[in-house]
Structure 1
Amino acid sequence: MADPFDSALDLLRRLNPKHTANHLNNLITLAPDLAEDLLSSVDQPLTVKRCKQSGRDYLLCDYNRDGDSYRSPWSNQFDPPLDEGGAGGVGAGGSEGAGEGAIPGERVRKMEIKANEAFDIYRELYYEGGVSSVYFWNLDDGFAGVVLLKKSAPQGGSSQGVWDSIHVFEASERGRTTNYRLTSTVILSLSSANNTLGEMDLSGNMTRQIEQDLPVDTDESHIANIGRLVEDMELKMRNLLQEVYFGKAKDVVGDLRTIGSLSEGHRDREAHRGIINSMSR
């Protein structure tokens, strides 16, 4: 018997990634025992929520979730509030880590605030809109976090597009250097429909990993290092998407449709074949 979890992941890879959330809910309904593993392993398009305290939008993910409550990076509060009291829904005994009603420690929370400010500027410069959120949590030998970025095309019209990028990292502190392990996922969804060109749906996701040791002087150095790693990774993945997704789509459309006549295409192919034959002699 194949492992049910592996089979579920294999099935999700073969379904339209544009509807990953619906497919995931259907799988969880069929196999409730796999819910926790699937939710923590499968990247879904990001959802936007508004912070009641600050009035700013933030993104929801599994790393700032406790049940049906989500922690805002701006106020550090869970919405809806958790049953336990204390800052961020954490009880008197305190709780550090990711999820389970946890908030980062004081030092890590300060870095989280600065990281949100830095990536808010990054978002505006690179995306000219959208929403960004950064969440940190404590580890035994350092800290970890996730950087979330979402940009959607304006509503209305015949074209729609959504870009979601999820960058999960671990920072293991080793004196004057820190080892960063970054796993980045980009979820892209593009669709267009009109009477002239017909319908087009281009959706998919891409995941890449990198590990690097970088020097660290102060806590601000962590923000600069993480920002540089995320920026470089997004640039590489953006170029890959352009080559793989758009380049392949262009080749397919070019083979299916032509603006020239069939006779012209035949003459071009014959001329091309003649040149190749003359060079091989």
Structure 2
Amino acid sequence: MHPLTSSEDLLSSVDKPLKVQRCQETGKNYLTCDYNRDGDSFRSPWSNKYYPSIEDEAEAPHPSKVLRQLEQYANDSFDIYRDLYYEGGISSVYLWDQDTDVDESGSVEFAGVVLLKKEIDANTKDAGSWDSIHVFEVVPGSGKSAAYKITSTVILDLSTEDNSDNSIYLSGNLTRQTEKSQTYTDSNSHISSIGSMVEEIESKLRNMLQEVYFGKTRDILGDLRSTQDIEVTKSERNRQQEVVKGIQGL
């Protein structure tokens, strides 16, 4: 299949956490979505090969030569970001040509997706996963200015439990669009701009989720506060704090 034509197409298909696959050539894990898919196979951003292997890989969707070089740079860059900000997890970046190849000046329109996933060990009392999908378009304008449009979705699953059988399970997602115009020097500077925007967007979405879920647990657990004694109130506050810690730990 060819890459989807819009961010809305992808977002309509990612209503559940991203899946992980291993690149047989490099031994590295990567994330799968419809943008690196051909039939039942998925292209690795590390080797540029599809797994499971397909009969005629040359006919499967691949980025152009110049864009593939930029894709490799993007994966190396976001792998550093993932390690710094997630302290674990998996990242994958996929790029695709819009109409023509990207030239060395980076002056041709292209698009891509940044995928990030972090999980908390399901064997512990606190378990959860954070999946973020950033679909972006780069549209160079006049001079050395480019428009960057990103549609970002975060999918959060979080559960906490204790010995008193007071368990909490939360699941949901947020989607936001961001647009910005910035100057660029070459094709690599597009990745730097996208990286800065993703960092800012993820910080905002994390804070929003924390506020939303803290408020939700407060509403659910606090409806009977006027009839509860101080010990129960303290217990509710502790459970709310556990939820916030779970989000911060992803």
TM-score if structure 1 supplies the norm length?
0.71
Match of 1:153 among 110, 114, 120: 120
Question: Which of structures 1 and 2 has the larger relative contact order (alpha carbons within 8 angstroms, sep 6+)?
Answer: 2
Name the structure 2 match of 1:66.
Answer: 38
Gaps of 5+ in 1: 1-36, 92-100, 263-281
Query: By percentage of residues, which structure has more helix?
Result: 1
Contact 2:90–2:116 (8 Å) recurs in 1 = yes
Do residues 247 (structure 1) and 215 (structure 2) align?
yes
The answer as to 2:209 corresponding to 1:234 is no
Q: Using the TM superposition, give the Cα deviation of residue 155 of structure 1 relative to its aligned residue in structure 2, in angstroms.
A: 3.1
Deviations 1:50-84 (A, max 9, x none): 10000000001111001100000000001122221
Task: For residues 4-26 of structure 1, give each alpha carbon's deviation from its aligned partner in whole angstroms, at most 9, with x where no partner exists.
Answer: xxxxxxxxxxxxxxxxxxxxxxx
Distance 1:198 1:224, change over 3 A: same
Whether contact under 8 Å (2:159, 2:168) holds in the other structure is yes
The number of equivalent residue pairs is 213
2:13 to 30, 33, 42: 42
Question: Aligned equivalents of 1:136 and 1:39: distance in 2?
Answer: 14
Counterpart residue number, 1:260: 230
How far off is 1:195 after superposition?
A: 3.3
Deviations 1:123-165 (A, max 9, x none): 1111100100000001125110000000000231232110000
Aligned residues of 1:130 and 1:152 also touching (Cα < 8 A): yes
In the alignment, the residues of structure 1 paired with residue 171 and residue 34 of structure 2 have an alpha-carbon distance, to the nearest angstrom, of 22
Shift in Å at residue 255 of structure 1?
3.0
> Which residue matches 2:140?
173
What residue is the counterpart of 1:55 in the other structure?
27
Deviation at 1:261, TM superposition (A): 8.0
Identical-pair percentage: 51
1:5-24 to 2 correspondences below 5 Å: none
* AA aligned opposite 1:260: I
- Aligned-residue offset at 1:196: 1.4
Which blocks of at least 5 consecutive residues in structure 2 are unaligned?
1-7, 100-107, 233-250
AA of the residue aligned to 2:28:
R
Aligned-partner Cα distance in 1 for 2:165–2:25: 46
Larger radius of gyration: 1
Aligned to 2:240: none
**Distance in 2 between the 1:104 and 1:38 partners?**
19
In angstroms, what is the RMSD of aligned CA positions?
Answer: 2.0
Matches within 5 A, 1:187-198: 187-198=155-166
Amino acid at match of 2:144: R
Q: Quick check: 186-195 or 227-236, which moved more?
A: 186-195
Provide the rounded CA distance (Å) in 2 between the counterparts of 1:245 and 1:80.
39
Pairwise CA distance, 1:49: 0.7
1:256 positional shift: 3.7
Q: 1:80 to 1:154 in 2, by over 3 A?
A: same
Matched AA of 2:175: T
CA distance in 1, matches of 2:165, 2:181: 49
In structure 2, the partner of 1:98 is none
Match of 2:180 among 186, 194, 212: 212
> What SS class does the counterpart of residue 122 from structure 2 fall into?
coil
